[in-house]
């Protein structure tokens, strides 16, 4: 097997009721859990990322000092060790082989910017496991899913975005992100769950 599943930022602060919750986030968590139950054995590597920001400071300008612009600056979210940074309770992570934390003191959107607790990067994991393909699911379609998929393409992977396993901030920007990813070479697919 040479395929990975990337689960991007399915966290309490990005699902309904969170600091930056998106509509459909809880449903995506549950659908990814169903996908894992049905298909985990198809993947050599299952990587889940979490935003994991420092409690002190602005995290390299990522946290807004005043009004956030929702482009480069954001309300405080996914602070390390808080409930908001934890996985959504609808996401069962038993099949996840590697957990990544990203944004520790700096802005970070792509799963490729994260590391495991042992310090491994996604690039190192891909090489070690001989990964050639990646399916991508998670939150938010128009930000971290987009950035992760573009980085996966840049790493030479054959990428499938599981369009029924993503949720975005807004319909228009999510549609634009999916169109951009398709243009960049990603396949837009359905998980079948």
Range of the domain at 111: 3-189
Could you give the residue numbers annotated as active site?
Answer: 9, 102, 144
Per-residue pLDDT in tens (0 to 9) along the chain, 193 residues: 699 999 999 999 999 999 999 999 999 999 999 999 999 999 999 999 999 999 988 999 999 988 999 888 999 999 999 999 999 999 999 999 999 999 999 999 999 999 999 999 999 999 999 999 999 999 999 999 999 999 999 999 999 999 999 999 999 999 999 999 999 999 999 998 8
Instruction: Give, to the nearest 10 degrees, the angle between helix 171-184 and helix 146-154.
Output: 10
The token pair at 121 is 């990067």
pTM of this structure: 0.96
- CB 142, CB 168: distance < 8 Å: yes
Provide the residue count of the chain.
193
**Total domains in the fold of the chain:** 1
Rounded to an integer, what distance in angstroms lies between the CA atom of residue 185 and that of residue 187? 7
Beta-bridged to residue 149, according to DSSP, are none
Peptide bond into 148 cis (omega under 30): no
CATH number (domain holding residue 155): 3.40.50.850
């Amino acid at each position: 097997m040479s395929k990975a599943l990337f689960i991007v930022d399915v966290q309490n602060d990005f699902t309904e009721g969170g600091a930056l919750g998106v509509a459909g986030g809880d449903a995506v968590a549950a659908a990814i859990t169903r996908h894992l139950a049905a298909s985990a054995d198809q993947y050599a590597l299952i990587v889940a990322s979490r935003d994991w920001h420092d409690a002190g400071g602005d995290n390299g300008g990522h946290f807004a000092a005043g009004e956030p612009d929702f482009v480069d600056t954001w309300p405080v979210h996914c602070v390390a060790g808080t409930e908001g940074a934890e996985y959504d309770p609808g996401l069962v992570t038993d099949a996840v082989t590697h957990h990544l934390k990203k944004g520790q003191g700096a802005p970070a959107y792509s799963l490729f910017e994260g590391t495991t607790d042992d310090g491994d990067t996604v690039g190192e994991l891909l090489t070690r496991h001989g990964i050639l393909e990646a399916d991508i699911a998670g939150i938010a379609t128009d930000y971290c899913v987009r950035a992760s998929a573009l980085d996966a393409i840049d790493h030479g992977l054959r990428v499938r975005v599981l369009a029924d396993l993503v949720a975005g901030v807004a319909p228009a920007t999510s549609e634009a992100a999916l169109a951009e990813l398709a243009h960049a070479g990603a396949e837009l697919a359905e998980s079948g769950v």
